[in-house]
Amino acid sequence: MENKIRSAFDEVKADEELKQNTAAFLQKERQKQTQVRRRPYAAAYASVFLLVIAGIFSWNLYFTKTAYVDIDVNPSIELSLNRFNRVIYVHAYNADAEIVLRNVSIRNKTCEEAVEILIDEMDVLGYLEKPGMLTATVQVSDSSGEDLLDSLSSRIRSCLQKCQGKVGQEVYLVDSAAKADSYDQDLTPARYQAIRELQTVDPDATFENCHDSSLGELRLRYRGHAGQGEHKGSSDSAEEEGTCEDSSPSSGEGNYRHRNRGEH
Amino acid sequence: MRTEQEANLAIEKYADMVRRICLVNLKNSQDTEDVFQEVFLKYILHDKEFESDAHEKAWLIRVTINACKDLLKQFFRRRVTSLEALVTEPTGIREESREVLDAVIQLPAKYRDVIYLHYYEGYTALEIASIFKRNENTIYTWLSRGKEQLKSSLGGESFGK
């Protein structure tokens, strides 16, 4: 009987159609499984790609310079700002500037906060004790220059009042060409313009031999050569808003526009 | 996931066995095809290596029997083909063999698989107990009872020891 059972079951076979249908089914399922397994990877790759793109875009957005603020007392400092009015780079034009920047951290601060910190530090270090002028130039690549000029002037004025010094302020816009010219000479736009003015009355003045002179010294030399009486309307004494052309013999050469001026 | 080649080899090697277990447990060819697909799908998705061919075969037996049971539990499949249709499903089977198969299929469900595994596949009661995760004595009892019922339905000849 055992043989009969074995013999009977021997006759039961899986037909070819059943095998082929099963193989075809498995093929389809394998493709589905592969797709299902790929989908999470595809989503992950897409997410990583988007994150990288967003990161590059954000980095580029944040670290693109859109404005420059150059400050001259004797320390001469350049602040590069991004579109969010944050300081992204700081440049010391001279040794005094390096001393001022040594103990302060102004990166990623707003322009106004940074300027306040710098003025406080200059006050602590004694750069604002003598009567003089704090000159700030603003070069902005978009239409926000006037707003920045207003807020910066206001903040500088209040800072200088706190310092109780005898330092006045002048804050004005410069255009990109003026900024580029001064950048090439590693000078602030204000000092660059002062040297250009000096050159009109002193042929010996060059960017090299005037490079380390402060803005006050340059203007003093200019007055010395041009004659005090002849140039009463020079930049140190101008009281009104207007262009630097008002106070400069070489008025036609640069595009400098005063926003604020006065002495404490 | 196992490769297409592995799947085809398994189908070629075990299709007849799976078909026989389906015959013992199911009622029509549609169910058989469903179980076939499920069993071999589980096979290709089973990532663990089998220790041996015997291990692989035992795994397929267990999966096939469980798939058949799961299919039968489904409500809408309970009212399918009559018993008469069972033995008419496989084609090309001699009348004598058909009677034997009919007798096996009409055994209580728990006896059918052990009769098939013992008398056709040659598994011992201990091995069957391992596949079903049952006590060996239970398998002996099922074998004994199944054998008695077959003897009764097929004319009283004794089965091989």
A169-173, B14-18, B89-93, B146-150: least confidently modelled range: B89-93
Question: Of B39, B56, B91, which residue is a domain's last?
Answer: B91
How many structural domains is chain B composed of?
2
Q: Nearest Cβ partner of B119 from A6, A14, A18?
A: A6
Do B18 and B79 share a domain, yes or no? yes
Q: What pLDDT score does A258 carry?
A: 47
- How big is the A-B interface in CB pairs under 8 Å? 95
pLDDT bin (cut points 50, 70, 90) of residue B93 is confident
Structural domain boundaries enclosing B71: 1-91
Nearest CA to A78 out of A61, A93, A60, A63 is that of: A93
Do B1 and B72 share a domain, yes or no? yes
Q: Is the pLDDT of residue A37 over 80?
A: no
Q: What pLDDT score does B90 carry?
A: 60
Q: What pLDDT score does A165 carry?
A: 64
A129-138, A192-201, B83-92: least confidently modelled range: B83-92
Across residues A94-122, what is the average pLDDT? 93
Do B81 and B103 share a domain, yes or no? no
ipTM: 0.84
Nearest CA to A256 out of A185, A189, A169 is that of: A189
Query: Closest residue of B to A17, CA-based?
Result: B33
A60-64, A195-199, B75-79: least confidently modelled range: B75-79
Nearest CA to A211 out of A113, A76, A88, A101 is that of: A76
Query: Tens digit of pLDDT for each residue in B32-56?
Result: 888 999 999 999 999 888 999 999 9
Q: Does B9 touch chain A (CB under 8 A)?
A: no
Q: Nearest Cβ partner of A22 from B1, B40, B101?
A: B40
Q: Where are the domains of chain A?
A: 16-62, 67-262
pLDDT bin (cut points 50, 70, 90) of residue B76 is low
User: pTM for the complete prediction?
Assistant: 0.50
Contact criterion met (CB < 8 Å) for B4 and A27: yes
Is the model more confident about A198 or about B161? A198
Question: Of B91, B119, B146, which residue is a domain's last?
Answer: B91
Which residues of B, range 47-86, sit inside 8 Å of A by Cβ? Answer: none
> Chain-wide mean pLDDT for chain A?
82
pLDDT bin (cut points 50, 70, 90) of residue A56 is very high
Q: Is the pLDDT of residue A31 over 60?
A: yes
A113-127, A239-253, B92-106: least confidently modelled range: A239-253
Give the best-scoring range by mean pLDDT among A41-45, A94-98, A143-147.
Answer: A94-98
Interface of chain A against chain B, CB under 8 Å?
1-9, 11-14, 18-19, 21-23, 25-27, 29-30, 33
User: Chain A closest CA to B116's CA: distance in Å?
Assistant: 8
A53-67, A97-111, A124-138, B76-90: least confidently modelled range: B76-90
How far, in whole angstroms, is CA B123 from its chain's centroid? 13
Do B50 and B16 share a domain, yes or no? yes
Do B65 and B100 share a domain, yes or no? no
Among A1, A3, A33, pick the best mutation site for testing chain B contact (most B Cβ within 10 A): A1
What is the identity of the amino acid at A110?
Answer: T
CATH of the domain at B85: 1.10.1740
Do B1 and B61 share a domain, yes or no? yes
Q: What pLDDT score does A243 carry?
A: 30
Query: Closest residue of A to B153, CA-based?
Result: A1
Cα within 13 Å of Cα(B33), Cβ side = 15
Among B2, B12, B20, B38, pick the best mutation site for testing chain A contact (most A Cβ within 10 A): B20
Is the model more confident about A230 or about B2? B2
pLDDT bin (cut points 50, 70, 90) of residue B157 is low
- Cα(A206)–Cα(A208) distance, integer angstroms: 5
Question: Of B66, B91, B116, which residue is a domain's last?
Answer: B91
Do B123 and B108 share a domain, yes or no? yes
Q: Nearest Cβ partner of A4 from B7, B37, B100?
A: B100
Query: Tens digit of pLDDT for each residue in A118-177?
Result: 999 999 998 888 888 899 999 998 777 888 899 999 999 989 888 776 788 999 999 899
Q: Is the pLDDT of residue A236 over 60?
A: no
Q: What pLDDT score does B47 carry?
A: 84
Contact criterion met (CB < 8 Å) for B37 and A25: yes
% residues pLDDT > 70 (chain B): 85
Contact criterion met (CB < 8 Å) for A11 and B92: yes
Do B84 and B106 share a domain, yes or no? no
